[in-house]
Structure 1
Amino acid sequence: MKRNIIAGFAALLLLSSCGNNREILNALADYNNSREEKGYHFGDQLHLPKEVTDNAETIAISFGDKELSDLTVDPEFFTLGDNDVTFIIKTKDGKTLNQDATINVFTKNPEQNLSYSIVAEYPHDPNNFLEGFLIEGNTVYESDGLDGSSQLIKYTLGSATPSLVEKQDDGIFSEGCAVVGNKIYQLTYQNKIGFVYDKNTLKKISQFPLPNVIGEGWGLTYDGKNLVATDGSKNLYFLDVNDPSKVVRTVSVAGHTETYDKLNELEYHNGFIYSNIWHKPVILKINPATGEVVGKFDFTKLTNENNQGNSEHVLNGIAFKGDNMLVTGKNWAKIFEVQIK
C-alpha cells in the first residue's frame, strides 16, 4: 500500500512537471506569435513572459551553430528581416525545453516614398525577356532569359536593334549582368555557373561556379569593389570580383515593418543599391552597408500600362543615365527615363 502511495505521488509530480512545461512552451509560443508582426530593432531586449522566466534556470537562443544567452537583439547574431531561431530553456527542475521561433528585425526609420517624373521614352524590343540591364554612356547591355532563347546583347539607347548579340547554348537561362572594366559578368538562373565576357566583342572569356550559398542566380551589379548578387531571397551577396565563387559578406534587406525578399535586378548608383522585387512594381533604395531600405519607388501605373495584361511581364530593369533612372521590364516595348524628385 505504501509503495502504491509513493508511486502515485511520483506520477502526480511527473504530471505536474509535464503540465508546467507545457505552460512554459505555450506562453513562449503566444509571446513569439504576438511579436512576429511587430518585430524588433537592433538593441531591443526580449522581455519573455513570467511563465517562462519564473521557471527557467537559463534561457538561450540558438542560431544553429551559434548561441546567445543575453536576450538582446544583437546585430552580431541577428540579421535584418526574419531570423529562424530556437529557444533553449533549462528549467529549475532540470528539464531542457526547445521551441522554434521566427524573430523579425526591422529598421528604426520608415522608408521614404520616393517620387519621380517621366522625362523621356526609348524603344525596347518586346521580344526580350529581360533579366539584366545596364548602361554605359549611351550603350545598353542587356541579358535576356528563358531556356533556348537566352542571350547577351549590346545596343545604343534609342535603337531597339542590337549592334552585337551573343546567343547562349540551349539549356542556359541567362540572368543578371554587370560591367567591370572591360568585362561583363553574367549569372545564370539554375545552372549554378556564371560567365565572363569581353565587353567590346561579347565573346566569352571564362566561366565560374556560383557560390554554394547562392541557390539561384538572379540579379547582379558592381559597387566599385565587389560584385553584388541576389538569389530571390532577402540577401545581397557581395562577391570577390577576382573570384566570384567567393562570398565576401552577406547583407539582409528589410524596412521599417517588412522583410523584402525576392530581390531581383540590381543597380549600384552613388552609394546605394537599387533593387526591384520580383512580381511587385516597386524599386527599393538600399543602404548596402546595413541592408536598410531607405526609400521606395512605386511603379504600379507604369507596370500596368506596359505588361500587356501578362503577370510575367514584370518591372525588371534598372539603370542610371547620369542621375536619372532608366526603367523597363520583361517584354516591355519601351524604356522610360525618370527624373527623381
Structure 2
Amino acid sequence: MSFWKISSSLLFLLLFLACGDEDPSRQFAIKFDTSGKSFQDGESPGISIRNSSGKEIDSVAYFLDQVPLKVDQGRISLTAQTLGEKTLSAKIFCEGETIEISREITLLAGKAPELYTYSIINTYPHDRKAFTQGLEFYQDTLYESTGQNGASSLRKVDFKTGEILQQADLERQYFGEGITILGDRILMLTWKSKTGFIYNRKTLDRLGSFAYGESKEGWGLCHDGTRIYKSDGSQKIWILDPQTYSETGHIETVTNTSVFNKANELEYVDGKIYANVWQRESMMIIDAASGAIEGVVNFAGLKNKVTQHPELDVLNGVAYHPERKTFFVTGKRWDKLFEVRIEKKD
C-alpha cells in the first residue's frame, strides 16, 4: 500500500474518532450520592450532573419515564405509579444548547412485604391426576385448567365432591396453563405455543384464539373487570385489553430489596393480585396498580396433608369465592382441595 493511501486511511480514522467525540451528551452524566442503580419508591437521593465539557450549565430538568420530577436542595424524589425498571433522563440547558442524557434505574417497593399464614376451613376431594394450572369460581362452580402435553384440559368441577361436570380437552401439541372468566367467555393460556384460547363458559365450546405479544410465555391469568393480567415467568405481569386480548402494558413485581420473577397462577381480589410462587409453598399479594409485593403467604405444611405419591407436584392453583370470602388452593396432582382463610402472621 502506498504512503498516500496509508496517510489517507489514518486521516479518515482520526476524523471519524474526532466526530464521535463531538457528541455533547458524552461529556455529561447523571450522578447520585449513593452507589448502585436501585432505589425504593419515595426515596430522595442527592443528584447532580457530571460535567467534563468545560461549559457552564444554566439549568437541568429531570424526568422519570418522561414524567417531570422536582429537585429540592439537590435531592430528587423518586416515585412512580408503577415500579421496576425505569429510565431517568435529564435535559441540560447549557450555553444555548439543550442536551439530553439518561440512565437506567430500578424502582423498588417502599416497604417490606408483610407475612401471612393460613387456616384450613374445609377440605374437599380433588382429581389426583389433574396437573392443575388454573382455578376460578363462577358463582358456585369451580373452573379448572390442567397442563401437560396430551393431558391438558378445561373443566367444570363440583368443588364439594370433586366430580368433573364437563371437560374440553386440548390438542396434544398444547400445554395448558391459567384461565380467567369474563362473563360468558373463558380465556385459557398455553405455555410455550404463544397462543391463548377463548371458550364459551356454558358449553366449553372453543370460540377462537389469540396470539401473545411481547410476553415470553403463558402462565397465569386473572382480571379486575376492565383489565386482564397475565404472568409469563418473568418479573412482568402483562395487562391485556379485555376485548382484543392484546398486550397494552405491564407492571413489574418487586419487593423493597429486589425484582421478583416467579409469579405463576393468579387471582384478583380487591385491588390485589394473589399469585402462586413457582416451585414454592407460598403466595404473593401484589398491588395490581404498582407491582409492589405487599405480602407473602406461607403455605408450608399444606402439601403434607395430601396423599403422598411419586407424581405429586408443587402447590399451584388459587381461586377466591366472593360469597364465602375464602380462598381455595390445591396443587399439581393433589387429591385434596383446601378452602382456607388467609391471616396476617402475629
- Structure 1 contact 307–331 (Cα < 8 Å) conserved: no
- Structure 1 contact 263–278 (Cα < 8 Å) conserved: yes
TM-score by length of 2: 0.74
Q: Could you say which residue in structure 2 is the equivalent of 1:219?
A: 220
Q: 1:159 to 1:182 in 2, by over 3 A?
A: same
Summarize the alignment of residues 1-150 of structure 1 with structure 2, pairs less than 5 Å apart: 32-33=35-36, 36=38, 39-45=39-45, 47=47, 53=50, 72=76, 74-75=78-79, 80-82=83-85, 103-150=105-152
Counterpart code for 1:81: G
> How many residues matched?
307
- Structure 1 contact 140–156 (Cα < 8 Å) conserved: yes
Counterpart code for 1:254: V
Q: RMSD over aligned Cα, in angstroms?
A: 3.9
- Structure 1 contact 80–259 (Cα < 8 Å) conserved: no
- Structure 1 contact 307–314 (Cα < 8 Å) conserved: no
Give the distance between the partners of 1:47 and 1:307, measured in 2 at CA. Answer: 58
**Between Structure 1 and Structure 2, which shows a larger proportion of strand residues?**
2
Counterpart code for 2:238: Y
**Between Structure 1 and Structure 2, which shows a larger proportion of helix residues?**
1
Summarize the alignment of residues 175-194 of structure 1 with structure 2, pairs less than 5 Å apart: 175-194=177-196
CA shift digits 1:82-128 (9 cap, x unpaired): 558899xxxxxxxxxx9987x33222232221232111101111211
Give the distance between the partners of 1:180 and 1:99, measured in 2 at CA. Answer: 41
Give the distance between the partners of 1:67 and 1:312, measured in 2 at CA. Answer: 49
Give the distance between the partners of 1:189 and 1:328, measured in 2 at CA. Answer: 20
Q: 1:315 to 1:60 in 2, by over 3 A?
A: farther
- Structure 1 contact 166–203 (Cα < 8 Å) conserved: yes
- Structure 2 contact 41–79 (Cα < 8 Å) conserved: no
Q: Could you say which residue in structure 2 is the equivalent of 1:3?
A: none
> 1:240 and 2:246 equivalent?
no
- How many Å apart are 1:300 and its aligned residue? 1.9
Q: Could you say which residue in structure 1 is the equivalent of 2:229?
A: 228
Counterpart code for 2:313: H
Give the distance between the partners of 1:148 and 1:105, measured in 2 at CA. Answer: 42
- Structure 2 contact 272–285 (Cα < 8 Å) conserved: yes
- How many Å apart are 1:168 and its aligned residue? 0.5
Q: 1:148 to 1:61 in 2, by over 3 A?
A: farther
CA shift digits 1:212-242 (9 cap, x unpaired): 2111011001211122111111222221111
Q: 1:311 to 1:299 in 2, by over 3 A?
A: farther
- How many Å apart are 1:281 and its aligned residue? 1.6
Give the distance between the partners of 1:295 and 1:307, measured in 2 at CA. Answer: 29
Summarize the alignment of residues 252-331 of structure 1 with structure 2, pairs less than 5 Å apart: 252-306=252-306, 308=308, 313-321=313-321, 322-331=324-333
Give the distance between the partners of 1:311 and 1:301, measured in 2 at CA. Answer: 18
- How many Å apart are 1:311 and its aligned residue? 9.8
Identity across the alignment (%): 29
For structure 2, the residue ranges without an aligned partner over 5 or more in a row are 1-27, 91-100
- How many Å apart are 1:79 and its aligned residue? 5.1
- Structure 1 contact 253–293 (Cα < 8 Å) conserved: yes
Give the distance between the partners of 1:199 and 1:40, measured in 2 at CA. Answer: 43
Range 305-314 or range 216-225, more displaced: 305-314
Q: 1:238 to 1:151 in 2, by over 3 A?
A: same
TM-score by length of 1: 0.75
